[in-house]
């Protein structure tokens, strides 16, 4: 066993010259130092001596950092590659049993905004739910930074459920000039199609109001995971289209409510499919993704309109309640 140990030490020296090899060694070292055998038992049974064991432990520790960095770099590279080439194997989610590890796991990024904690301190979920309204008078006074907005969207996309965990929703967040560009392009598409007087009196002021907001979130559905589910579960094939729409709606609702809870006003629009082509060309969105909705948000410059509620008795039916 001593022979083996020295061989390993010699190897460690040589291997540390190259990052890739070092990473492989770290995996190996981590593996053996995390065996559930207590080190004493291991030594008594002719295993590695405790000094060697400590050395290997240290090696594993010191090499685990580059390992994590390499993993992170790979994840980011994978994410970027997926944006340009959806056909790459690690971009696909062929069957549920082969769903890849999410590119960002909830534990892999610790830099999320603390705004959700702030929200929790101020509002309950039901309060946030009640406060979410359609606000059409919006301005450019954003109560949160762009980074915080992106963090909110990231949290929504990570944690909102999807049918069979398909994670089929894609979002494009347009802020500042890019947001304005969206509404300029929408106006360019609509103007030739709407009668002139109608455009002047209705469409144009409406589009200008959206343009006067701070940002727009575009919600797409990627048909690939949906198609994969159809193949994997033919018995439910006819349902997956509906469930993809439900998945999108859940994301829209969560983003809308989260933004409201963080002090924004927002409203939901549907200029798809009329703007799809132009938008997809402009922001290099894969042509096969389907635009489902646009969430316009910004500072609140007005109140929501009055809302009528149909009686709950006509809408909620309870059986079996005990207290």
Ligand X SMILES: Cc1cc2nc3c(=O)[nH]c(=O)nc-3n(C[C@H](O)[C@H](O)[C@H](O)COP(=O)(O)O)c2cc1C
167 Ramachandran zone, left/alpha/beta (phi>0; psi -120 to 50): left
The answer to the question of residue 267 lying near ligand X (CB under 6 A) is yes
* Ranges within 61-90 binding ligand X (CB under 6 A): none
| Minimum distance, C-beta of residue 121 to ligand X, in the bound complex (Å) | 24
108 Ramachandran zone, left/alpha/beta (phi>0; psi -120 to 50): alpha
Q: For ligand X, which is the closer residue by CB, 167 or 267?
A: 267
Q: Can you tell me whether residue 297 is helix, strand or coil?
A: strand
The answer to the question of residue 169 lying near ligand X (CB under 6 A) is no
Q: What are phi and psi of 267, to 5 degrees?
A: -145, 155
The answer to the question of residue 307 lying near ligand X (CB under 6 A) is yes
- The b-or-e profile of 171-194 (16+ CB within 10 A means b, else e) is bbbbbeeebbbbbebbbebbeeee
Write the interaction track for ligand X spanning residues 97-136; mark x where CB under 6 A is met and - where it is not.
------------------------------------xx--
| β-sheet bridge partners, residue 298 | 265
| Minimum distance, C-beta of residue 263 to ligand X, in the bound complex (Å) | 17
Q: For ligand X, which is the closer residue by CB, 150 or 268?
A: 268
The answer to the question of residue 247 lying near ligand X (CB under 6 A) is no
Question: Cα dist. 100→85, 93, 195, 289, 316 in Å?
Answer: 16, 7, 50, 20, 39
Both structure tokens of 61: 């520790």
Instruction: Give the binding range for ligand X (CB under 6 A) out of 17-25, 137-145, 151-159, 264-272.
Output: 264-272
| Alpha-carbon span 182 to 250, nearest angstrom | 23
| Minimum distance, C-beta of residue 61 to ligand X, in the bound complex (Å) | 51
The answer to the question of residue 304 lying near ligand X (CB under 6 A) is yes
Interacting residue with ligand X among 147, 270, 284, 302 (CB under 6 A): 270
CB contact set of 195 (below 8 Å; sequence gap of 6+): none
The answer to the question of residue 203 lying near ligand X (CB under 6 A) is no
Q: For ligand X, which is the closer residue by CB, 97 or 308?
A: 308
Q: For ligand X, which is the closer residue by CB, 15 or 258?
A: 258
> Count residues contacting ligand X (CB under 6 A)?
8
| Minimum distance, C-beta of residue 218 to ligand X, in the bound complex (Å) | 14
The answer to the question of residue 137 lying near ligand X (CB under 6 A) is no
Cβ 33 vs Cβ 59: under 8 Å: no
- Give the position of tokens 């829209």: 252
The answer to the question of residue 140 lying near ligand X (CB under 6 A) is no
End-to-end alpha-carbon separation of the chain, Å?
A: 68
Interacting residue with ligand X among 158, 171, 232, 268 (CB under 6 A): 268
Q: Is 170 exposed, middle or buried (0-12, 13-18, 19+ CB in 10 A)?
A: buried
Binding residues vs ligand X (CB under 6 A): 133-134, 267-270, 304, 307
């Amino acid at each position: 066993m001593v022979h083996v140990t020295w061989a390993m030490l010699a190897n460690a020296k040589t291997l540390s010259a190259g990052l890739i090899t070092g990473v492989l060694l770290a995996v190996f070292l981590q593996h053996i130092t995390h065996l559930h055998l207590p080190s004493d038992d291991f030594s008594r049974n002719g295993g590695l001596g405790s000094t060697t064991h400590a050395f290997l432990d240290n090696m594993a520790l010191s090499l685990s950092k580059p390992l994590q960095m390499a993993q992170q770099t790979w994840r980011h590279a994978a994410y970027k590659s997926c944006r340009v080439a959806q056909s790459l194997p690690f971009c696909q989610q062929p069957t549920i049993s082969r769903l890849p590890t999410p590119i960002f796991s909830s534990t892999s990024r610790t830099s999320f905004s603390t705004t959700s904690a702030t929200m929790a301190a101020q509002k309950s979920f039901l309060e946030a739910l009640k406060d979410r309204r359609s606000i059409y008078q919006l301005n450019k006074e954003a109560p949160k930074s762009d980074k915080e907005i992106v963090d909110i969207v990231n949290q929504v996309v990570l944690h909102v459920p999807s049918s069979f965990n398909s994670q089929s929703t894609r979002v494009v967040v347009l802020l500042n000039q890019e947001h304005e560009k969206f509404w300029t392009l929408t106006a360019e598409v609509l103007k030739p199609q709407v009668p002139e007087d109608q455009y002047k009196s209705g469409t144009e002021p409406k589009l200008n109001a959206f343009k006067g907001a701070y940002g727009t979130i575009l919600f797409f559905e990627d048909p690939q995971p949906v198609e994969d589910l159809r193949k994997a579960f033919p018995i439910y094939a006819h349902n997956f289209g509906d469930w993809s729409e439900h998945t999108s709606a859940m994301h829209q609702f969560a983003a809308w409510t989260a933004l409201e809870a963080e002090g924004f006003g927002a409203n939901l629009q549907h200029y798809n499919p009329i703007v799809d082509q132009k938008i997809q060309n402009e922001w290099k969105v894969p042509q096969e993704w389907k635009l489902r909705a646009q969430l316009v948000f910004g500072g609140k410059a007005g109140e929501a309109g009055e809302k009528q509620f149909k009686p709950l008795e006509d809408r909620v039916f309870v059986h079996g309640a005990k207290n």
